[in-house]
Amino acid sequence: MQANPSSVRFAICGVGHIGRRHAALVARHAGASLVALIDVRDELRAGLAAEFPGVPFFLSLEEYLQSGPAADVLTVATPNGLHAPQAVAGLRAGLHVVVEKPIALRKTDAELIMHTALQTGRLVFGVMQNRYSPPAAWLKQVHDEGRLGEVFLVQLSCFWNRDARYYQAGGWKGTQALDGGTLFTQFSHFVDLLYWVFGDITNIAARFRDFTHQGITEFEDSGLVTFDLVRGGSGTLSYSTAVWDRNLESSLTVVAERGSLKIGGQYLDKVEYCHLQDYALPPLPPTNPANDYGPYQGSAANHVQVIDNVVDTLQKHGVATTNTLEGLKVVEIIERIYALR
């Protein structure tokens, strides 16, 4: 697989489920080239060689940085607790960095990424692909245009299934050090959407429960969080991974001065209710349009636009959709919530 000399060259660090998705999308992107794959699991080598012929495989980021082919971008798709040190290593090696959510598990580590990016003159792209969902983009537009008026209440509900089939014994998922908790791994996208549209929160109160995950994870499976919006209004975040057998829903409901709305579906991919003063809901683009990037569903389909944004930003001096400061704010909000445990 030869790199297009004019394309943006990507090295993918961490080739599990999400990293393999990044690799496949980069390999198929007209403006990108896949130049290296990095993972500590040597047993992946043969399968990756068949899937991505000609792309060299490295057993550590250090090995790649010392002897690997040149790249423009390092994509970090490893366990959450490794994101910050690997992002910093990539930046110091002169690479731009794409970091899967969350960019770090501590605000101080996210700040180190931001400061290193400033020092090296490199860019960091946080992966918050739900921003590309048509209902999410519509909500942002409606709010920014002032069609809601004063926001009274915002309610986020995230009810998914993550049981022993997901938390495999001996893996990193479910550990405090590498996973970080339910809000970091499962629901940071929804915290990001809350911050992206409505701004920061304050006056946080929270209750946490562990209904079905004793002995499986090192943290809670459910939480009830209340808060005030700094810009005015109040909100709740109810979440759980204790739903039996399969995901139930994710939803965001807004009650405001000039009407109410609700976005639902498993990935906030459907407008379920819209009743706003002097406003009719326009047709929205399909959430998962047909494309040439494979059978990705739900929030996964929007990874295509993440890579589009990276390529556009580097080739045409565009703007990073989720910059370091926004990624840091998501970490900081979750850290403030978890400080109440």
**Mean pLDDT over each residue of the chain, to the nearest integer:** 93
The 10s digit of each residue's pLDDT in 255-267 is 999 999 999 987 7
Q: Are 135 and 263 in contact (CB under 8 A)?
A: yes
Q: What is the mean pLDDT of residues 28-51?
A: 97
Q: Are 60 and 27 in contact (CB under 8 A)?
A: no
State what percent of residues in the chain have pLDDT above 70: 94
Q: Is 231 exposed, middle or buried (0-12, 13-18, 19+ CB in 10 A)?
A: exposed
User: Residue 300: which pLDDT band, with cuts at 50, 70 and 90?
Assistant: low
Q: Output the pLDDT for position 326.
A: 93
Identify which has the larger pLDDT, 5 or 248. 248
Q: Output the pLDDT for position 294.
A: 45
Q: Output the pLDDT for position 5.
A: 61
* Region at 135 (left for phi over 0; alpha for psi -120 to 50; beta for the rest): alpha
CA gap 14, 335 in Å, rounded: 25
The 10s digit of each residue's pLDDT in 132-174 is 899 999 999 999 999 999 999 999 999 999 999 999 988 999 9
Reduced to 3 states, what is the DSSP secondary structure of residue 158? strand
Q: Output the pLDDT for position 266.
A: 79
Reduced to 3 states, what is the DSSP secondary structure of residue 222? strand
Q: Output the pLDDT for position 293.
A: 39
11 pLDDT more than 90: yes
CA gap 137, 144 in Å, rounded: 11
Which whole-number Å values give the CA distances from 175 to 133, 164, 180, 216, 272, in the listed order?
30, 13, 7, 9, 36
User: Residue 292: which pLDDT band, with cuts at 50, 70 and 90?
Assistant: very low
CA gap 247, 291 in Å, rounded: 26
Going by C-alpha positions, the residue among 333, 299, 284 that lies closest to residue 128 is: 299
User: Residue 323: which pLDDT band, with cuts at 50, 70 and 90?
Assistant: confident
Q: Which domains does the chain have, with CATH numbers?
A: 8-126 (3.40.50.720), 130-287 (3.30.360.10)
Q: Are 228 and 234 in contact (CB under 8 A)?
A: yes
Which whole-number Å values give the CA distances from 38 to 46, 245, 301, 303, in the listed order?
13, 33, 23, 19
